[in-house]
Structure formats: C-alpha cells, structure tokens
Amino acid sequence: MKKSIIACAVQQPCNRGRDTNLAYSLSRIQAAAQQGAELVVLPELHLDHYFCQSEDTECFDLAQAIPGPSCEPLAEAARANQVVVVSTIFEKRAPGLYHNTAVVFDKDGSIAGTFRKMHIPDDPGFYEKFYFTPGDLGFKPVQTSLGKLGVLICWDQWYPEAARLMALAGADLLIYPTAIGWNPEDEAAEKQRQLQAWITVQRGHAVANGLPVISCNRIGFEAAPDQAPGIQFWGNSFIAGPQGEVLASADDVDDCLLFAELDPKRSEDVRRIWPFLRDRRIDAYGDILRRYID
C-alpha cells in the first residue's frame, strides 16, 4: 500500500437464496463506496446458504466457473463504484473438482487474482472436505491497485503459518472472509470461549506480522437439512491494526458495514519497533515441516 485506504467489511445474512444474496451484496458494495470505502470485503460464500452442514451431492450444482455468472455483476460493481472487492465463490474447476475460492476484483472490474482455501475442515455441521479440494495456489498475496492483499478463508485463519507466509510474501494486510457460528445447543460460556478464541487468534496474526487484519463473518441462523441443530452465525466481524488494536467491530446480530482507515506507515512503524521478521531463527525451524515431533 502506497497510501492510507478506507476498508469496509460487510456483515450480512446469507440465507435468502442466491439471487437475493447477490443483489444484497451488490447493494452493500455500492453503499460502502458511497461512504468512502476503497476496499470492500464480503463474507465467505456469501452467495448461498451454508450448504456444508450436510453431505449432499445436489449441492455441487451451486458451484460455478471462475470467471462465471456471478463474477460478472461483482466485477461490474467493482468497476462502477471504483472499489476493490473481495468475494468468495464455490468454484467448479472441472467435473468432480471443486474449490472454495476467493476472487479479488480490482477497481477496473478485472480479476486481480484468486486464492483457493488451503485448510479444509471436517467437523459436525462443517463438512467441507466433502465439497472442497484443498487449494493449490499457495499463500500468495493478490496484487491490486491498492496494494498486496493477503487473502485467506475462514479455517485458514486459525493457522499462524498461513498468516506468516502471506506476510513473508509481501502482503500489506490480511483478509479473512468467514462463515463461522455456534451450535445453538452449546452453553453460553462455551459460545463465548469459542468466540473469544476466534477473535484472539486473528488479532495475534496482526501482532505477529505487524499487519492489519480484516475479518468478515456472516450473521443469522441457518437450519440444517436434517435433525442437526443448525448454526447461529456469530458475526462479530472486526478490523484490527498492526498491533492487534481493534479499529472497528460488530456484534453478533446486526447487518452492518464496518469501516476503518488503514495506514501503511503505521505497519512500517510497528515493524521497526517490533522487528519479528528480523529476529526469526529460520535456521532452527526445520521441524515445522513435520506433522508431529515424536
């Protein structure tokens, strides 16, 4: 980033069907731009309900090519509003080969780059391994007119290696489109532990790498297609600065736009006083490539 930018995280429900979800996301891009945003981040898989609550082969029909039909209106929204847009799309790469893919549209409507989700969960209510092939594009920032965007997706946000590799590749900020929520049957204390862990680990990535973080989650209850309890998506989207300081945050229910000014000079200043990249012992980290040290 050569200058300060105004970033916006769009916190929205995604359970209204594709046409309505897409139209709403487009309206929020426009609203964000009208309020000064230059970068707009949408939640993970914002075009559809969270279909990964069950394993259903018919859900593969939701996937589409990139570029594809949903890319066209998103690209036009980026061009018409002169903003950079980060979307995530269920990508059909080939018959039987699908990815959870972030698509970054630059201000001119072109696709600046993509990132395929690297870490794929497989847990009750989050059966993503059934649908998504792990990404094969690596941890490479997307170069845009605003700078290099270190885009990662949801489960990637728990891994310090992913954030560090984006930082080492020159990312100016870290971006996490997300779809995460509570099991409604969990106790209130457990819900808070999960939420605080989610916030803390991402703020930790900001601190450890001296970079701003944008974390953008969906909201609303989405029922499971079987007898499972469903998911209450917890929102709490936030934007943090390079020392993990929270610049803007949402609650767990409000449909809203979050704005923050991100200044590359601040990241530079923080890295000068906390030179973590300088003091890394890369000569001693060989075991990080092992699954476990017996």
pLDDT per position as a tens digit, 83-124: 999 999 999 999 999 999 999 999 999 999 999 999 999 999
SS3 string, 247-291, reads EEECCCCCCEEEEEEECHHHHHHHHHHCCCCCCCCHHHCHHHHCC
**How many angstroms from the chain centroid is the CA of residue 197?**
17
Instruction: Flag whether the pTM goes above 0.95.
Output: yes
* Paired residues of 3 in beta bridges: none
For residues 273-292, average pLDDT: 96
According to DSSP, residue 64 is labeled: B
For residues 151-161, average pLDDT: 98
Which is more confident, 275 or 2? Answer: 275
Q: Is residue 54 part of a domain?
A: yes
Arithmetic mean of pLDDT over the chain: 97
- Position 1 pLDDT exceeds 90: no
Q: Is residue 284 part of a domain?
A: no
pLDDT, residue 226, reads: 86
Active site residues: 44, 117, 154
Q: Is residue 224 part of a domain?
A: yes
- Give residue 80's domain range: 5-273
Q: Is residue 282 part of a domain?
A: no
Q: Give me the phi and psi of 191, to 5 degrees please.
A: -60, -45
Q: Is residue 173 part of a domain?
A: yes
pLDDT, residue 134, reads: 98
pLDDT, residue 253, reads: 96
Q: Is residue 279 part of a domain?
A: no
Q: Is residue 291 part of a domain?
A: no
Q: Is residue 213 part of a domain?
A: yes
Report the number of distinct structural domains present in the chain: 1
For residues 11-35, average pLDDT: 97
In this prediction, residue 2 has a pLDDT band, given cuts at 50, 70 and 90, of: confident
pLDDT tens track for 39-96: 999 999 999 999 999 999 999 999 999 999 999 999 999 999 999 999 999 999 999 9
pLDDT, residue 22, reads: 98
Compute the distance between CA of residue 173 and CA of residue 105 in angstroms, rounded to an integer. Answer: 16
Compute the distance between CA of residue 111 and CA of residue 176 in angstroms, rounded to an integer. Answer: 18
Q: 209-242 b/e with 16+ CB inside 10 Å = b?
A: bbbbbbbbbbbbebeeeeeebbbbbbbbbbbbbb
Question: Comparing C-alpha atoms, which of 126, 121, 131, 130 is closest to residue 93?
Answer: 131
CATH classification of the domain holding 148 = 3.60.110.10
